[in-house]
Amino acid sequence: MPKYRDDLPQLSGDWFLTEGGLETHMIFIEGIDLPEFSSIVLLASEEGRQAWIHYLEAYIQLAIEHGVGLILDTPTWRASMHWADQLGMSVEELNRLSADAAGVLDHLRMIHETPGSPIVISGALGPKQDAYQVEEGLTVEQAKADHQAQVDFLATTEVDMLTAYTLSNSTLAIGMVKAAQQADIPIAISFTLETDGRLPSGETLQEAIERVDEATEEGPVYYMINCAHPTHFLNQLQGTGPWLDRLWGLKANASHKSHAELDKATELDAGDPKELALLYGEVSGRLKHLRVIGGCCGTNHEHVGEVAAALLSKI
């Protein structure tokens, strides 16, 4: 049974860590192939399963050391029915692995959770195609239908909430929120941004957040930014307004490179963890509700540890 679905502890305003870049870590550091950049395949072998658990344990230890909460994601960013054929799996097999992943996280929570470090389990969602491409002509109804099956299935597992990552446009976000509302499960929305600080759709972050909130009656529990370097969007976080207050989370890339450059990269760009931590400090100074912090492409527990040390030393 989900432990926190009806009362997410991060909404109290306490700090919560999240993971770094799972896929880039597994490919470039662990040397494990992830077809279609899909980490759900880790659950298909004992080697992959143990590598994932070992990866998670580093973040659990970080959270306990800092005395803060932790949000752990199921590796289901590319585990919807739309990826089944490309992964050579049936939808039923993807669902079985997804349920197994949620069970692993629930077991880790039972072993490691402390009163000072609650562990929230999040079901990760992602676009049905390349995350950096905008689906032309997509409607809200189509977006909802595209993701309803995965949302409905994850809602039957131990996950406390959903987090939709690397979204390129507000229409997709609205559809995914409506799918979560139908399944009666909380959802956070995380947009990706280009080097100009705008979504791949061309929308500003303010426009996207305001459109989603208006269309869903403020459906997301909060918003996040992921898969972008802070230097790409700092200039967007200006002034004041309700939309800024809705931004609670950041999972930034280690690299300054654009999405197009990262797609072509054959080596890991791990950036500078200390520089990244300083930039998170700048973001925190502009987002008064920033409380969920982790990393994306190129980051690992060392990056998240530097960020945690920099931000948590201020409290």
CATH of the domain at 35: 3.20.20.330
Residue 301 has pLDDT above 80, yes or no: yes
Indicate whether 238 belongs to any domain.
Answer: yes
pLDDT of residue 1: 83
pLDDT of residue 136: 74
Higher pLDDT, 257 or 299: 299
Indicate whether 182 belongs to any domain.
Answer: yes
Mean pLDDT, range 237-250, rounded to an integer:
93
Q: Do the Cβ atoms of 77 and 101 come closer than 8 Å?
A: no
Q: How many domains does the chain have?
A: 1
Could you tell me the pTM of the whole model? 0.96
pLDDT of residue 131: 65
Work out the pLDDT band at 259, boundaries 50, 70, 90. confident
Indicate whether 215 belongs to any domain.
Answer: yes
pLDDT of residue 121: 98
Nearest by Cα to 161 from 193, 119, 191: 119
Indicate whether 54 belongs to any domain.
Answer: yes
What is the domain range of residue 308? 9-312
pLDDT of residue 90: 95
Indicate whether 4 belongs to any domain.
Answer: no
Residue 130 has pLDDT above 60, yes or no: yes
* HSE (side-chain half, CA atoms, 13 Å) at 192: 24
Q: Do the Cβ atoms of 188 and 249 come closer than 8 Å?
A: yes
Residue 91 has pLDDT above 80, yes or no: yes
Q: pLDDT of 271-291, one tens digit each?
A: 999 999 999 999 999 999 999
Q: Mark residue 36 as left, alpha or beta (left: phi above 0; alpha: psi -120 to 50; beta: remaining).
A: left
Mean pLDDT, range 254-280, rounded to an integer:
84
How many angstroms separate the CA atoms of 20 and 35, rounded?
19
pLDDT of residue 272: 94
Q: Which residues contact residue 104 at a Cβ distance below 8 angstroms, ignoring those fewer than 6 apart?
A: 43, 49, 52, 53
pLDDT of residue 257: 78
Q: What percent of the chain has pLDDT over 90?
A: 89
Indicate whether 234 belongs to any domain.
Answer: yes
Mean pLDDT, range 186-206, rounded to an integer:
97
Residue 43 has pLDDT above 90, yes or no: yes
Indicate whether 141 belongs to any domain.
Answer: yes
Indicate whether 1 belongs to any domain.
Answer: no
Mean pLDDT, range 155-173, rounded to an integer:
98
pLDDT of residue 314: 57
pLDDT of residue 313: 75
Q: pLDDT of 208-233, one tens digit each?
A: 999 999 999 999 999 999 999 999 99
Average pLDDT, the chain: 94
Work out the pLDDT band at 236, boundaries 50, 70, 90. very high
Q: Which H/E stretch holds residue 283?
A: helix 273-286
pLDDT of residue 268: 72
Tokens 């654009």 belong to residue: 258
Length of the chain: 315
